[in-house]
Amino acid sequence: MANIPHHPLQGPQDLDLLMEEIGNARIVLLGEASHGTSEYYTWRTAISKRLIQEKNFNFISVEGDWPDCFEVNKYIKGQGEAVTAPELLQTFNRWPTWMWGNWEVAGLVDWMKKFNAGKSEAEQAGFFGLDVYSLWDSLQEILNYLEQQGGPAAAAAKKAFRCFEPYSEDPQEYARAVAFVSQDCEDEVVNMLQALRQKGLDSGADRTAEFDAEQNALVAVNAERYYRAMIRGGGSSWNVRDRHMMETLTRLLDLHGPDSKAIIWEHNTHVGDARYTDMARNNMVNVGQLVREQYGEENTFIVGFGSYKGSVIAADEWGEPMEIMEVPPAPSGTWENMLHEISPQNKLLFSKELTEEKALRDKIGHRAIGVVYHPRMERYGNYVPTVVPKRYDAFAYIDTTRALHPLAIYQDHTQPPELYPFAE
């Protein structure tokens, strides 16, 4: 495997070739092999800065909740009430809080605020959430938006909110209660979305506020579907979630105009084309596949990330406290082990240079760490069979990585912890 073509990846200057390969792509998807690794965030920040500065990308869209990320969007455009980025990111209080409430993201937010200062709205870069989990927060945002206005849209929103009230703001309790019966809140949230869309057409309201309210209604519709599907099991809930993220991305691109460009930050399992993993066998799709299909491979560029060993922020079980955990060396025969055997150096690989490698034409194990992680059991469930050169257009390999720096652990808001040298 020593003949696998690769390029050094030591600092931002080593991204020149990546910028060339991205070319005129409209959508760049930046992955991560875990939600708790510092270098994935700082390298994605370095790439995103260059895409925004050099190629006029309009926004970053992330695997995060719409309401919280919209507050970030307002802050970086000079509209928010928060004083500092760390103070702002404390609002990410849904578990796992560390995904966006961390010093690495604070550095990105600070940079985006400075970049946007003095620019027109059309020239400013945005920050948006693509995910579907914020059912109650989105319902509350809609009520806040409509409470002073009355009319059919407000009445529809109140009816939807009342439908969910018996479930104590617990979407899983709602899902368990209605998964196998006909009485649910689907009609209420769909009617609310339709009323909001009609209101927008009729009223000529502020386009940004209107878009925000409509997006929260869309979240409520798809979150209701997601939680019902989740209880029933199988891959259907995954597909509801990724199709929602794709729909949100399309709406954001349309909002920003026909020449708009998007950066996506999500886990490799969302951005790496599902057709070249075992997900396809289970009829599961993901954002990377859907973007390629909808916008064309020539307009899409996917960058995967991974490492050989290090540390990570994760938890033993869903909802449990975060921990700094060891990431053991990747076992023999995996993608990460192959890259380590070439050399223990950070490297950047391009899929077009890997297609001649016979050993890479079949699926090989590629590490994926979730928010719940058990290092000692890793080899039994953390490696996704992957045709790497087909799943991604490029791959950023960091040999040894460090755990993310959550605000909840590193609480001194006046002095950020030491991050990657170019993370500031």
pLDDT tens-digit map of 1-52: 557 899 999 988 999 999 999 999 999 999 999 999 999 999 999 999 999 9
Q: What's at 279, amino acid-wise?
A: M
| Dihedral (CA of 347, 351, 353, 356) sign | positive
Task: Find the range with the poorest average confidence among 29-43, 73-87, 280-294.
Answer: 73-87
pLDDT of residue 415: 66
Comma-separated ranges of CATH 3.40.1660.10 domains in the chain: 7-130+255-401
Percent of the chain with pLDDT over 90: 67
Strand pairing category for 347-350 and 7-8 = antiparallel
pLDDT in the model for residue 83: 85
Distance, C-alpha 131 to centroid of its chain: 7
Among 192, 351, 366, 261, residue whose Cα is nearest residue 29: 261
Mean pLDDT, all residues of the chain: 91
Residue 424 has pLDDT above 60, yes or no: no
Asked if the model's pLDDT at residue 209 lies above 80, the reply is yes
Q: Is the pTM of this model over 0.85?
A: yes
Domain 7-130+255-401 superfamily per CATH = EreA-like (biosynthetic domain) (3.40.1660.10)
Q: Which residues pair with 312 in a beta bridge?
A: 325
The helix or strand, by DSSP H or E, that contains position 95, with its residue range, turns out to be none
> Looking only at Cα atoms, what is the longest distance across the chain?
68
- Averaged pLDDT for residues 315-343: 95
* pLDDT mean over 230-259: 92
pLDDT band at 355 (very low <50, low <70, confident <90, very high): confident
Q: Is the pLDDT of residue 268 over 50?
A: yes
CA dist 345 and 355 (Å) reads 22
For residue 201, what pLDDT band results from cuts at 50, 70 and 90? Answer: low
In a 3-state reduction of DSSP, which class is residue 357? coil
Mean pLDDT along residues 267-276 = 98
Q: What is the mean pLDDT of residues 267-289?
A: 96
How many whole angstroms separate alpha carbon 5 and alpha carbon 353?
6
Q: pLDDT tier at 202 (50, 70, 90 boundaries)?
A: low
Max avg pLDDT among 115-119, 140-144, 167-171, 359-363: 115-119
Statement: residue 307 has pLDDT above 90: yes
Instruction: Report the run of H or E that residue 365 belongs to, with start and end.
Output: strand 364-367
The pLDDT-based confidence of 198 (bands split at 50, 70, 90) is confident
Evaluate whether 95 touches 319 at the Cβ level (below 8 Å).
yes
Looking at per-residue confidence, does 9 or 188 come out higher?
9
* Residues paired with 62 in a beta bridge: 129, 265
pLDDT tier at 204, thresholds 50, 70, 90: low
Angle formed by the axes of helices 66-76 and 103-116, nearest 10°? 50
Ramachandran angles phi, psi of 401, nearest 5°: -115, 165
Long-range contacts of 12-18 (CB under 8 A, 24+ apart): 12/46, 12/50, 12/422, 14/348, 15/46, 15/47, 15/50, 15/348, 17/348, 17/350, 18/47, 18/303, 18/348, 18/394
Residues with Cβ within 8 Å of 212's Cβ and at least 6 positions away in sequence, in order, are 70, 141, 145
* DSSP class per residue in 266-307: --HHHHS-GGGBTTGGGT---HHHHHHHHH-GGGEEEEEEEE
pLDDT tens digits, 367-393: 999 999 999 998 888 999 999 999 999
How far apart are alpha carbons 128 and 402 in whole angstroms?
26
For residue 317, pLDDT beyond 60:
yes
The Cα–Cα gap between 46 and 108 comes to 9
- Checking if the pLDDT of 324 tops 90, the result is yes
> Omega into 96 within 30° of 0, i.e. cis?
yes
- Among 285, 212, 295, which Cα is nearest to 245's? 285
397 burial level (CB within 10 Å; 0-12, 13-18, 19+): buried
Q: Kind and range of the H or E element at 358?
A: none
CA angle 124, 130, 131 (to 5 degrees): 150
User: Number of helices and strands (H, E) in the chain?
Assistant: 15, 11
Task: Round to whole Å and give the CA distance between 8 and 379.
Answer: 28
CA–CA gap between residue 217 and residue 223 (Å, rounded): 10
